[in-house]
Chains A and B, each alone.
Chain A
Amino acid sequence: MPQLIKVGMADLNIALYPNILTTIGLGSCVGIALYDKINKIGGLAHIMLPSSKDIKNNSNKAKFADTAIEILLTMMLENKADKKNIVCKLAGGAQMFALKNSSGNNDILNIGIRNVAAVKKVLEELKIPVIAEDTGGNFGRTIELYTEDGGLMVKTIGHGTKII
């Protein structure tokens, strides 16, 4: 029986075949699913913020796009994944609330868009291709990464379920 490995908010983990990685209720956060299809190794990070460099208290590496991807990749390589096989799928980065007359300097509400952009920039630097994504919008997502084939299931409330 495959084991379901849960990744929390500002958290990351890897899984070997046949296990499944999941993270529940992504809002503006981004779920970064890395997968090596030859060795059937998956990695999943649930990041909250674009960059560890903008924040003083940055000891939790899994919280930021830049540091989380780096650690996740290292963990996968340590478990015999091969960098040249690794591809990425993304989900999340929504804007949960849209205020009409906000004070205008509310950078928090569009953090989802900025998270997705930051993640893609880091992946590009690492030369990891993004082969599928379900990002943006104004709704939450739960995702499951299957190490069997690298499929990423995206579940929502009211916006359907699909595998990307």
Chain B
Amino acid sequence: MVDIDGLNSFEIDVLREIGNIGAGNAATALAKMLSKKVNMHVPEVRIMDLKNVPDVLGGAEQPVMGVYLDFEGDVEGSVLLVMDETSAHILIDMMMGRPVDTNRPLNDIDLSAVQELGNILTSSYLGALATLAKLNVRPSIPCLAIDMAGAILSVPAVEFGMTSDKVLFIETEFIEGADNVRVYFFLVPDVDSYDTILKALGVIQ
């Protein structure tokens, strides 16, 4: 069993690299969709106490957008993509080819677009992991929710909470022109799948 508290710096580097490749793949998918060049910062792997998790996105009560899917196959688990409302707005307006206006209320088409965006980002993220570790992974159809950050983030927190008092997640920043869009990926393999991934990558025996 892999305990998040007990990960050594090498294992954290590997997880960061997975995050890097996953997010890189997602950035490429985003760039294709927008027909624009999308840069990104090196993702940051963060390990945090459970009780601080709800405040990650600038306050537990802040409305955020979450896209969640689970997966099965050689490894099982879930992926959650979370972004704040402003970031979601910027991405939607870019997709629709409109000037960015974060005050405009979102309509059904916008929500459908952001769900599709979440679909593509999470799938490409997961796909990168599967390819890298040569594992067979079958994702479910993603589901969208807009609600308080604390409530959305409680989903991965509970999953981590089954085995640990810490949560591991990957923060990625996409940059397009003057706009910075911050996206958080929570990859939660189930307990055995952590071992499977690290083994498949040759990190542990």
Contacts and interface: CB of A to CB of B under 8 A. Distances in A.
A142 B61 contact: yes
Interface stretch (A36-44, A71-79, A96-104, A127-135): A96-104
B150 A108 contact: no
Interface in B140-164: 140-141, 143, 145-155, 157-159, 161-164
B148 A140 contact: yes
Given A9-B50, A48-B161, A97-B66, A25 B154 contact: yes
Q: Counting chain B CB atoms within 10 Å of each CB, which of A24, A27, A28, A138 scores highest?
A: A27
Contact of B140 (A10, A27, A55, A103): A103
Interface residues of B, number: 40
B158 A29 contact: yes
| Dominant secondary structure of chain A at its interface with chain B | loop
Contacts of A59: 165
A49 B163 CA distance: 11
Top-4 shortest CB links A-B: A25-B150, A140-B151, A8-B51, A27-B151
Contacts of B164: 57
A29 B50 CA distance: 12
Interface stretch (B7-15, B67-75, B168-176): B67-75
B53 interface: yes
B158 A49 contact: yes
A149 interface: no
Interface in B112-158: 138, 140-141, 143, 145-155, 157-158
Contacts of B52: 8
A53 interface: no
B76 interface: yes
A28 B52 CA distance: 17
Nearest to A8: B51
B118 to A, nearest CB: 11
Contacts of A100: 140-141, 143
A29 B154 contact: yes
A20 B24 CA distance: 46
B60 interface: yes
A8 B157 CA distance: 12
Contacts, number: 130
Interface of B: 3, 50-54, 60-61, 63, 66, 68-72, 76, 78, 138, 140-141, 143, 145-155, 157-159, 161-165
A126 B76 CA distance: 38
19 contacts: A8-B52, A9-B150, A24-B61, A26-B151, A49-B161, A57-B3, A63-B50, A96-B152, A96-B155, A97-B143, A97-B145, A99-B69, A99-B70, A101-B140, A108-B159, A111-B158, A138-B145, A140-B154, A157-B63
Interface of A: 8-11, 24-29, 48-49, 55-57, 59-60, 63, 94, 96-103, 105-106, 108-109, 111, 138-142, 157
Given A25-B149, A99-B69, 18 more contacts: A8-B52, A9-B51, A9-B54, A9-B150, A24-B60, A27-B151, A48-B158, A60-B50, A60-B165, A96-B154, A99-B70, A99-B143, A105-B76, A108-B155, A139-B147, A141-B148, A142-B61, A157-B148
